[in-house]
Amino acid sequence: MKINWITVIGLPRMQSDTPNTDRQASCPNCWKALPLCLCDSITAFPSKTRLLVLQHPREAKNPLSTARLLSLTLPNTVHRVGLSWASLNAALGEKVESKQWAVLFLGPLKDAKRLKEDVPFQVVARGGKTVSLDSVAGIVLLDGNWKQSKTLWWRNPWLLKLHRVILNPDMPSLYGEIRKEPRKHALSTIEAAAESLQALGEKPEIANGRIL
């Protein structure tokens, strides 16, 4: 499925997991303004690995946000908008084993020297020890700009108990031409999800073109 990144604009304002009514009528499914509805261009792909997207409320208002598109493309995704949740179970709305989950990590690791710089995808424990990819059942993604993502990180201390996903992509973000990224190898949420799923052995079509 190919969508021009420039068309990913016009998301309505929202404060929760469902879209709000704004001045311009919006699609109840993709939450975009009706003239920019992408529903006919979206194909859903089943995946074994689960995703939990925690989206900062301000990012939910950003017309370039990809979180909603991600949840429609990968139905095995839970999309939450807010600042804090009591636990992983509370965010997911069900009970899971936290030791089988990892979070896309934002900061430096104490034992970062153990990491292999040429490896595009790694899952490590808090101390830097490598974790088997087969043990990962789900990944938490923080959706927002750098400051917003750090806010989500510190307001949800249960994230510290999860394994860390370390991404070192070999390609720059396709968003680079229309949205400034804080780091050279930073990816959008939907791109990070595609890279992670590919590394975890999901079907190639999921990561082909980074989902979109």
Torsion, Cα of 77, 182, 160, 136 (10° steps): 40
Can you give the pLDDT at residue 128?
A: 79
For residue 115, tell me if it sits in a domain.
yes
Q: Which run of H or E residues covers position 204?
A: helix 204-207
- Work out how many domains the chain is built from and give that number: 1
> Can you give the pTM of this predicted structure?
0.78
Q: Which run of H or E residues covers position 124?
A: strand 121-124
For residue 36, tell me if it sits in a domain.
no
Which of these, 99, 74, 76, lies nearest to 89 by C-alpha position? 99
Can you give the pLDDT at residue 4?
A: 36
For residue 83, tell me if it sits in a domain.
yes
Q: Which residues of 72-108 are buried (b: 16+ CB within 10 A; e: fewer)?
A: bbbebbbbbbbeebeebeebbeeeeebeebbbbbeee
For residue 133, tell me if it sits in a domain.
yes
Can you give the pLDDT at residue 3?
A: 35
For residue 198, tell me if it sits in a domain.
yes
For residue 31, tell me if it sits in a domain.
no
Can you give the pLDDT at residue 181?
A: 52
- In eight-state DSSP terms, residue 100 is G
Domain that holds residue 55: 45-207
pLDDT along the chain (212 residues), means of 10: 33 39 71 85 89 94 82 92 97 96 72 60 86 95 91 96 85 53 65 88 66 49
Can you give the pLDDT at residue 16?
A: 39
Can you give the pLDDT at residue 118?
A: 65
- The one-letter amino acid at 199: A
